[in-house]
Structure formats: structure tokens, C-alpha cells
Amino acid sequence: MEVTAAEKAGSYNSPEVDELIARCQSGTLEAFDELVARYQRFVFTVVYQHLGSTDEIEDIAQEVFLRVFKFIGRYRGQASFETWLYKVALNYIRTHQRRRSLLGRFFLELPERTDDSGKSSDMIARLSDEAKDPARSDEHRRVVEEIMSVVRQLPSMYRDVLIMREVNELSYDEISAILGVSMGTVKSRLNRAREMVRRQVTL
Amino acid sequence: MDCKEFRRMIWEELDGALEGARLAQFNEHRKQCAACEREYLKQRRMKLYMQCFPTISGVSDRFRRELMTRVRNGDLRSHYRLNYPRITATLALFACVLIGLLFAVNSYREYMVTEKGFIARYKEGAEAVQSAMPNLRHELGLLGDKPVYALVLPNLRAEDFVVKLLANYENGEAPERLVNRLAVETGLLDGVSMHPSSHGLLSQTVIVFPRALPPVVIAFVERQDLVDLRRFTLDVVNTYGPKAITSGSVPLASLDLSPMLAETGGELEIVDVGGGTFNEDQVPNGIVPLVITFKGAQLESMPRSRN
């Protein structure tokens, strides 16, 4: 979250991001395309980290950006754009998970993916490969995977706050704004989540 | 600083929120306590490992192209759609199962009434009554060729029986004649009053019994009354459970039937109205005696079965 300079200038975003958002809000498709290019990696990462799998990462990221396109007029600059985007993504992930658990795969049709040429596309395998860093040692990767699996088994209220704080290094203020809960709640959930992970992980 | 306080402050330190004297105390404790130092290092490693969670390093341009295609085409609706044919098929299947179940329950109920299958499971009533014969004959000195009909409800209070009878009469399931025979002529309804009462949207009737009802009553009925009574007994079982009709004890041992029954010189036969041996075709014409026993009958206990 590199917003300090922009914050000093009276905005949470850099001037170019503000300008890009303004163009998006006026309905310029090119600006939205630029916005997607700029934040797609961020959204993919958020979706991947909170969802814990790459199975539907693209579809969910696409739905998140469509929501951004629909609702960008509601962004008033009261927080950084990344914070707002994180909130949109997290809300959609929760909706998606709720829908999944209620209706299950049985009642939901997976979207059919096609690009400009009308051909169906599948980038999931490639994304999954990219999510692994070959530079890390096997032991390091094993420990990370162990912690990840523990984190993913936490109840969502603890998991979300832990990922936001420890993985994405958001401030308490930002987490509080995204989740719409008080700072005290954020801290207590975080303490609980850390304690739960600490008990289950052997380091 | 003690270990407990130190451990509470570990995450504060890892968050960079410890400063000044508190940080100095914290570091001092780390040096002095090996266990706390290990715990601190463990939690620091955990934090560092969490910062190494994988991220997406690059996204294909195809993703953006596909997204922009949807935006340009105005296709903003979620692509996650409900699978309506599957939902319809599931609901239809569920409805079929439900209808089938209701049909089966209704058929079973009819079967129980018409084929006596359900009531036939509870032979204890008839057998128990039969087993009381020597006592009855001895006590009453009765020898008759006209059977005595009996209904044994050892786990049901007379009041519950009357309430159920009135409820069935209210909704048209029990004929008025049966109510007259079982409740009016036997005196069970003497002094009983009914008061309409309402709680919010619900209205109900409160039935007040001026005194406890007797646990044994004797009525005089005809063949059709016995058939209606069997049907009503099934409703009683449905409402109060099968235990209402099963007889754990035999309540007829010291029953004084002499004032009501005529001596006929033959052998006294007792037929359980709730039993499987009941056959309406064998009910003699005219009036027959019916004994109904309820919970609380203070009578001798008898063997459950002659078998």
C-alpha cells in the first residue's frame, strides 16, 4: 500500500491513479482497460490468497472487475483505491463462497470462457505454475504450504484479517475500513488468528 | 517483566508497535529467558513465512481482452448462473417423493383401518382381558353367551380420551352417536364445561373437568359404534403414541360388571375392541356392553399374555 506521498497531497492515491479513476468514472473504456492492466495482478493475488485455490481465480477476478466497472462511480476517494478494490474483491469472494456452500456445484453452472476470437480460453494451469516460486528451497516451500493450509482452515473472520495483515501487510486502519468493523475488533480477531496458527504450526 | 507479559507483547513487537522503555524491557527479557526467546523466534519465523505466501506474478493479456470484450458487449451479468433444468428436475423429484410419501401414509392409514393390520399388532389387550376371565367369573359370577367388548388404554387418562373425542367430534371425524354413547351416557361429560379462549391470533377451547374422571367406564353400544370406536382408537394412537393402547398391566381383574351384564348361562367372552381378533361381522345385533379402562385403574395386575 504505497499511498503515503499521495496522502500528503490530500489524496490517498497517486495523481495518475486519481486521474485514471476520474476517466473511468466518466465512462472511458480505455481508462478502464488501463485500470485493469494496472490492478489485475493485485486482484488475482487477493483472490488467490483468500480463496486458497486457483480453480476459479480468473472467473472470480473477472466478476470483481465487472463490479468495479459497475460501481466505480461510488468510489469517493475516502480511502485508497487499493483498499476500495480489496473491499470489492473480498465482498465478491465471500458472496461466491456463500453461494457455493449454499447451492453447491450441483446448482451452479460454471461460466464458459471465450475471448475476442470466440475461442474458449484456459489460463488456470499457467497461473497455478506462476504462483509457485522456484527460487525457494523445498523446506521453505513445505513450511509455507503447511502454514497456508492452517490459515485456510481458519474460520473466514479470522483468516481474512490474518491474510490482510500478515500476508498483504495492510494497516489496522485499512483492515478496519475494508471489513467495516472497529479497530478493536480487528486486533482481537488478529490475536485470535495468530494464536490459532501458532498452536497448529510446528516451527 | 514476566514471561506472561512478554508473550503478550511478542506480536506488538513484531508489528513494530513497541518503543522506548517497553522495547528495552522486552529485549532485556529476551536475553534472560531462553524459553521466551524461542517463542519469540518461532512467532517471528511464522510472520516471515506468512509474508512469503505465493502471489500471482503475472496475468495473461488474454484475461484483459476477455474482460474488455464482455464490457464492450455490455455483458455485465455474472456468468455464474443457476442451473435451472437441474433445479427444476430436483424440485420435481422432491415433489414426487413428497406426494408419494403422503400417498403412502394415507394408504397405510387406510390399510390400518380397513385391514386391522395396525391394531392387530397389539394383541395384549385382548389376551390380557381374556386372562382376567377366571377372576372376573369368580368375582362377578357371570356366565353369558354375549361377549363383553373391552378397550384397554392403560397409558391414557380418561380426560385425554374425552378431549380427543371432542376434538374429533368438532372436526367431523367422530360421529355424534359415538360421543353420546361413550361420553354422555357414561357420565364422562357431566359438569364438563367448554370455554373459548384466544391468545393473539390463535383461538382455542379450554375444557374444564369439575372432577377427576373415573379410570373405568362401561358403555352400551352397537356394532357400528364399535367400528367407529376402532377408527377413533387409531386416531388416539396417532395422537398419543402406540403406548396408549398397549397394556402393561391388566385393569379388569376386580371390575364389577354385575349390575350391567345379564347372566346368560353361557361362557363369558371378552373381545378386545383394539385387538386383531375383533371382527365386526361377529358383533351380535343390538346393544352390547363395552368396558373402557384408562390410566390409573387401581386393579390387580395380571399376566400380559396367555401364550
Which residues does residue A152 pair with via DSSP β-bridges, in sequence order? none
Chain A residues lying within 8 Å of B70, measured CB to CB: 62, 66
B264 pLDDT band, cuts 50/70/90, is: very low
pTM of the model: 0.54
- In this complex, how many residue pairs, one in chain A and one in chain B, have their CB atoms less than 8 Å apart? 140
Within a 13 Å sphere around the CA of A176, how many CA atoms are in the beta-carbon half?
Answer: 10
Query: What ipTM does the predicted assembly reach?
Result: 0.78
**Across B267-284, average pLDDT:** 78
How far does the CA of residue A8 sit from the closest CA of chain B (Å)?
A: 22
B65 touches chain A (CB under 8 A): yes
Does residue A134 belong to the interface with chain B, where contact is any CB pair within 8 Å?
A: no
Residue B305: is its pLDDT beyond 70? no
CB-CB under 8 Å, B79 with A59: yes
| Three-class DSSP category at B151 | strand
Instruction: List B residues 230-269 in contact with A (Cβ-Cβ < 8 A).
Output: none
Residue type, position B88, single letter: T
- Is B16 an 8 Å CB contact of chain A? no
Q: Cα angle at B43 between B37 and B49, to 5 degrees? A: 135
Q: Which helix (H) or strand (E) holds A51?
A: helix A29-51
* pLDDT score, position A112: 57
Q: Inform me whether the C-beta atom of residue A38 falls under 8 Å from chain B C-beta atoms.
A: no
Residues of A in contact with B67 (CB under 8 A): 36, 62, 65-66
Distance from CA of B82 to the nearest CA of A (A): 5
Domain ranges of chain A: 1-112+122-131, 133-203
Is domain A133-203 annotated with CATH 1.10.10.10?
Answer: yes
Residue of B nearest to A191 (CA): B11
By Cβ distance, the residue of A37, A40, A107 closest to B86 is A107
Which residues are bridge partners to B219 per DSSP? B290
Region A1-112+122-131: CATH code = 1.10.1740.10
pLDDT value for A89: 94
**What pLDDT digit, counting tens, does each position of B76-108 carry?**
777 777 777 888 888 999 999 999 998 888 777
Name which of B300, B278, B307, B305 is nearest B290 in CA terms.
Answer: B278
Question: With an 8 Å Cβ cutoff, is B38 touching chain A?
Answer: no
Q: Which of A62, A99, A162 is nearest residue B67 as measured by Cβ atoms?
A: A62
Separation in Å, CA of B22 to nearest CA in chain A: 20
- In this prediction, residues B178-193 reach a mean pLDDT of 87
Q: A70 CB near a chain B CB, below 8 Å?
A: yes
More confident residue, A96 or B300: A96
**Which chain B residue's Cα is nearest to A201?**
B46
Nearest CA in chain A to B63: A58
d(CA B43, CA A67): 38
Flag if B87 and A40 touch (Cβ within 8 Å): no
A16-26: per-residue pLDDT in tens? 899 999 999 99
Query: Residue B287 — left, alpha, or beta (φ > 0 → left; ψ -120 to 50 → alpha)?
Result: beta
What residues of B are in contact with residue A58 (Cβ under 8 Å)?
63
Model confidence pLDDT, tens digit, residues A125-167: 344 444 455 556 778 888 888 899 899 899 989 999 999 999 9
